[in-house]
Amino acid sequence: MEELLNLLAQYIEQRLKREMGIPRARFTKVGKVPKGNYNFVASGRLRDSVKAFVEGEDIVVLMEDYGIDYVFSDLAADRWGISPADAGSFPGGGRYYPDTRQTRGTYSALIASLEKWVRDKIKLQGAEAKSMAFAIRKNLFKAGYKGLPLITDVVETDILNKLEELLGKPEYSDFILDDILDRIKIFTRTDYELTIG
């Protein structure tokens, strides 16, 4: 059974990474204004952080905290007990909102993060990257971004089809795994480390 689950975990890891590479339309939370395509792969940090492995009879998937908290609406909804429509980043949420700096004019950690993102994704450097980071921060605080689902119906169907394919092999034909989707547990790295620590 463990060998079968390991093969399925490897497939799930690769399938989720592939799903992150598919560009999808992104919208603001306010007025649902389209904000271009989003493919989740700027520096590759989020995609590369996805790891799946077997623990007991469950398949555990780990990823960077911000993927679950701000990017993927279905995962945030499960973690925080909110509606997928309320998931996403800003306004009214997020680690950097409201502005908690002690004095105005000090350098924001959000600007540093956004500046790195601009350099990786848009390939701007220096003052242009900093200027773009400020514009993105202003837009995020004003409108926010709706979260997008990661585990879509297509992803679920692909996982179930892979399981069926594996169960069709003679060495796994005696196993019954009809609740596999319930056995997939997705955690932020922080939550998982706190759980096992």
Copy the structure tokens of residue 170: 């003679």
pLDDT tens readout for residues 44-64: 888 999 999 999 889 999 999
- Quick check: is 123 in a domain? no
Strand partners, 59: 54, 184
Count up the domains in the chain and report the number: 1
- Quick check: is 97 in a domain? no
- Quick check: is 130 in a domain? no
Taking residues 146-152, report their average pLDDT.
87
- Quick check: is 96 in a domain? no
- Quick check: is 44 in a domain? yes
How far apart (Å, rounded) are the C-alpha atoms in residues 56 and 105?
A: 51
- Quick check: is 139 in a domain? no
Indicate the pLDDT class of residue 43, thresholds 50, 70 and 90. Answer: confident
Check residue 26 and give its pLDDT.
Answer: 78
Confidence check: pLDDT of 97 > 60: no
- Quick check: is 81 in a domain? yes
Query: Regarding predicted confidence, which is higher, 177 or 68?
Result: 68
What is the pTM (predicted TM-score) of this model?
Answer: 0.74
Confidence check: pLDDT of 197 > 80: no
Indicate the pLDDT class of residue 100, thresholds 50, 70 and 90. Answer: low
- Quick check: is 110 in a domain? no
Per the structure, the complete domain to which residue 86 belongs is given by 2-90+145-196
